Amino acid sequence: MSGGGKEPQQPPLGPHMTLPGPGRIAAYAGLAVLGALVALAGSLVQGGWFPGGLVLALLATVAVFLGGLRATGTQMGVGAPAAGWLIAAVLLSTGRPEGDAAFSAGVGPLIYLLGGMALAVMCATMSRLPQPGTESGRLGK
């Protein structure tokens, strides 16, 4: 160290990564709660109006995932509601010792669980659209 001055410490995530601000953390927490609510509503709707309810529940699931991606512009915007959805869906599928469960019996809940997980993966891995107002990387255009 030269000059006896204190060098600025790097954040724990690395030199080019920064911690998200409180607003972004609140947005991710809100998206996780929204994902859990969608799982709760989907578990009730998919069994109540089969097969239309299953389609409606999966459409709501993909809407919350894509909405999180669109609202935050990051893959974490999909990960937060997907985590909330998955935790709620798993907890709802286990049931209680008395035999009560939010999911009905049959193939519908299985399609809902596997389909929701597949939709989360698809939404998280899809390429992001280019930001508006950015110029093309091509020279001469």
CA 8 to chain centre: 35
Peptide bond between residue 109 and the one before it cis (omega within 30 degrees of 0)? no
Give tens-digit pLDDT for 99-120.
666 666 678 888 988 999 999 9
CB neighbourhood size of 27 (10 A): 18
Give tens-digit pLDDT for 11-20.
555 555 666 7
Percent of the chain's residues with pLDDT above 90: 35
Give tens-digit pLDDT for 34-65.
999 999 999 888 877 778 889 999 999 999 99
